[in-house]
């Protein structure tokens, strides 16, 4: 009989911080789906709660954000698309935290926007994450025309397809999360293995 592993510590990063944003609708819905999945102990990092300045070096919010990332076994980034890119502040907080906080951790990407569903915001992040040792998984979830995609209760207007896509994404994230948690426990990330 195999023993079920402890749930993975999942941090969902909400990447939009502007007044009137729709981001919390998307991240709250995603957090609910992740709790239903059962493989994760779910928390949300709302970047609105972190006032990391352009000179981010020694700011206390940098320390706290980095601590949360360091403790995570898996990360989901929920990002809008602004001018074909993710928001600048999202990049700033990634830059502010040390690579070591992210190294050996899987990252899943969720996007939303206008016509393109925020897909153009996802691709630049795929360039960033390997640079800090994070593993961005293939499966994405996206919403085009996002303001028409949720009811007043914060549920998707058309839940079948998108909820199924989330399960597929979370299954892959869980797979990588378990594999990399074991790997990190076995040896420090990037350490020489064979003498």
86 binds ligand FMN (CB under 6 A): no
* Phi-psi category of residue 190: left, alpha or beta, with phi > 0 → left and psi -120 to 50 → alpha: left
- In angstroms, the CA 172 to CA 89 distance is 27
138 binds ligand FMN (CB under 6 A): no
- In angstroms, the CA 47 to CA 34 distance is 19
146 binds ligand FMN (CB under 6 A): yes
| Sign of torsion over alpha carbons 172, 43, 107, 69 | negative
81 binds ligand FMN (CB under 6 A): yes
124 binds ligand FMN (CB under 6 A): no
Contacts of 105 (CB under 8 A, 6+ apart): 69, 72, 73, 74, 75, 133, 134, 135, 180
85: DSSP letter: B
Cβ 188 to ligand FMN shortest distance, Å: 37
84 binds ligand FMN (CB under 6 A): yes
Q: Which residues pair with 136 in a beta bridge?
A: 107
19 binds ligand FMN (CB under 6 A): no
16 binds ligand FMN (CB under 6 A): yes
- The binder of ligand FMN chosen from 23, 104, 156, 177 (CB under 6 A): 23
Cβ 124 to ligand FMN shortest distance, Å: 12
- The binder of ligand FMN chosen from 18, 35, 67, 99 (CB under 6 A): 18
Quickly tell me which residue has 């990002």 as its tokens. Answer: 79
Cβ 16 to ligand FMN shortest distance, Å: 3
Cβ 113 to ligand FMN shortest distance, Å: 3
In 93-189, which ranges are E strands? 106-112, 135-143
* Range in contact with ligand FMN (rule: CB under 6 A) among 80-88, 130-138, 150-158, 172-180: 80-88
The SS3 call for residue 82 is strand
**Chain positions contacting ligand FMN, by CB under 6 A:** 16, 18, 21-23, 80-84, 113-116, 146
């Amino acid at each position: 009989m195999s023993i079920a592993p402890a749930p993975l510590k999942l941090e969902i990063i909400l990447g939009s911080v502007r007044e009137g944003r729709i981001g919390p609708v998307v991240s709250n819905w995603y957090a609910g789906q992740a709790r239903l999945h059962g493989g994760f102990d779910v928390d949300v990092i709302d970047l609105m709660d972190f006032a990391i300045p352009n000179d981010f070096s020694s700011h206390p919010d940098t320390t706290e954000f980095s601590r949360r990332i360091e403790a995570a076994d898996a990360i989901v980034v929920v990002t809008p698309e602004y001018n074909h890119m993710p928001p600048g502040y999202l990049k700033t907080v990634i830059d502010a935290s040390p690579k070591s906080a992210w190294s050996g951790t899987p990252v899943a990407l969720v996007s939303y926007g206008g016509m393109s569903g925020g897909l153009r915001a996802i691709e630049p992040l795929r360039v960033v994450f390997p640079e800090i040792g994070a593993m961005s998984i293939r499966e994405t979830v996206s919403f085009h025309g996002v303001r028409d995609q949720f009811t007043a209760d914060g549920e998707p207007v058309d839940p079948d397809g998108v909820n199924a896509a989330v399960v597929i994404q979370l299954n892959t994230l869980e797979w990588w999360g378990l594999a990399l948690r074991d790997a990190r426990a076995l040896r420090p990330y990037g350490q020489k293995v064979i003498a």
